[in-house]
């Protein structure tokens, strides 16, 4: 038997709640299932960095292996 999840007024209140409570008391993780969100896109922000050329090449190789542009 799991506890009932309270209603939250806002995200901040919910964030504070989950920071101080164990989710296993409220959610039966054995009954969960995987969900695919095809339209979900990560937020991106462009920045500029100065890196040594060798480090940049190594980072590109690592990113390529993980299929990250």
pLDDT tens for 25-46 read: 999 989 899 999 888 888 888 9
In the prediction, which pLDDT does 1 show? 64
Helices (H), the chain: 11-20, 53-65
Contacts 24+ apart (CB under 8 A), 29-37: none
In the prediction, which pLDDT does 43 show? 86
In the prediction, which pLDDT does 47 show? 93
Instruction: Enumerate the domain spans of the chain.
Output: 1-30
In the prediction, which pLDDT does 20 show? 95
Reading the block at residue 48, the tokens are: 């500029």
| Rounded distance between C-alpha atoms, residue 61 and residue 28, angstroms | 40
């Amino acid at each position: 038997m799991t506890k009932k999840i309270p209603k939250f007024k806002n995200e901040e209140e919910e964030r504070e709640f989950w920071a101080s409570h164990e989710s296993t008391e409220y959610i039966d993780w054995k009954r969960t299932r995987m969900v695919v969100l095809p339209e979900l896109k990560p937020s991106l922000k462009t920045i500029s960095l100065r890196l040594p050329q060798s480090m940049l090449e190594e980072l590109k190789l690592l990113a390529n292996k993980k299929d990250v542009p």
